[in-house]
């Protein structure tokens, strides 16, 4: 294939990735902001996690920084496409022949794998020698918004984007499954930063699905960065002793309930 044609193909693929990644981010971030912060502002007032509301300047800055993150994600996607074209990434073709059973299983495994990857890389970038380079930008959103989801430093954006190609090199996963994974990722990410507790509670004021992170869970991380590193699930924080000690009480308060009193031993 002539060089000019090859460059055109790769350029078109990068632009296609950019358009898709940008549309996905904008759609979810704007939708979560509009539905929760505008349409349901009154009904959700009791579930607001902070008294203050992030100002327009913060939202615009987060959106602009997220455009840079989207460009990095698209560039890593182009590198993944190059690996496949060069024959170094047979996994998607293998997975496409394995049927719907494997598609469902690989989606579940990819979500579990990403949760573990995120937990450990997240703890890593909180190391004092790495924080300024990798993670400071994200924590400038001390009071986060749905637009905070992709507000990353360049290094952190590259680190998080690396998960998909690394996963595809190890586990055969079809491209449509990767697309569904990305939709799940941005949906959970924007909800986790939305500033309102949107997850349901049980009658005894605990999260209905206790193994899943809630908005309160991640908001506590932005408020006090030494806790709650998990993205989708609470398992790693509980196993490693990094779940905020006040998490359940804060969730109960945000959900409009109270934890049941614990009687002192006789």
pTM metric for this prediction: 0.92
Residue 181 lies in a domain: yes
Residue 247 lies in a domain: yes
Residue 160 lies in a domain: yes
| pLDDT, tens digit, 9 for 90 and up, residues 137-190 | 999 999 999 999 999 999 999 999 999 999 999 999 999 999 999 999 999 999
Model pLDDT, residue 252:
94
- The token duo for 98 is 């394995």
Residue 263 lies in a domain: no
Angstrom distance (rounded) from CA 187 to CA 198: 12
Total domains in the fold of the chain: 1
205: left (phi over 0), alpha (psi -120 to 50) or beta: left
User: If residue 86 lies in a helix (H) or strand (E), which one and from where to where?
Assistant: none
Residue 261 lies in a domain: no
Domain that holds residue 84: 3-254
Residue 36 lies in a domain: yes
Angstrom distance (rounded) from CA 45 to CA 30: 19
Residue 260 lies in a domain: no
Residue 262 lies in a domain: no
| pLDDT, tens digit, 9 for 90 and up, residues 59-74 | 999 999 999 999 999 9
């Amino acid at each position: 294939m002539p060089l000019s044609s090859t460059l055109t193909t790769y350029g078109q693929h990068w632009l296609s990735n950019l358009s898709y990644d940008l549309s996905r981010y904008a759609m979810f971030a704007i939708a979560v902001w509009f539905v929760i912060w505008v349409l349901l502002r009154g009904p959700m007032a009791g579930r607001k996690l902070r008294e203050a509301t992030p100002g327009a300047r913060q939202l615009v800055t987060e959106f602009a920084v997220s455009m840079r993150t989207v460009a990095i994600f698209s560039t890593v996607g182009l590198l993944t496409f190059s690996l496949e074209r060069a024959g170094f990434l047979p996994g998607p073709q293998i997975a496409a022949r394995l049927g719907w059973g494997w598609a469902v299983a690989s989606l579940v495994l990819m979500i579990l794998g990403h949760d573990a990857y995120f937990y450990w890389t997240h703890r890593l970038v909180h190391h004092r020698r790495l924080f300024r380079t990798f993670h400071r930008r994200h924590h400038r959103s001390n009071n986060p918004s749905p637009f905070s989801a992709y507000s990353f430093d360049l290094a952190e954006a590259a680190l998080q984007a690396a998960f998909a190609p690394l996963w595809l090199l190890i586990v055969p996963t079809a491209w449509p499954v990767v697309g569904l994974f990305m939709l799940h990722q941005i949906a959970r990410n924007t909800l986790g930063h939305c500033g309102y507790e949107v997850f349901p509670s049980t009658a005894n004021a605990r999260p209905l699905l206790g193994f899943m992170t809630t908005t309160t869970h991640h908001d506590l991380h932005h408020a006090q960065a030494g806790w709650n590193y998990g993205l989708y699930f609470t398992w790693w924080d509980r196993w490693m002793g990094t779940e905020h000690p006040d998490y359940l009480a804060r969730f109960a308060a945000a959900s409009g309930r109270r934890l049941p009193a614990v009687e002192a031993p006789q």
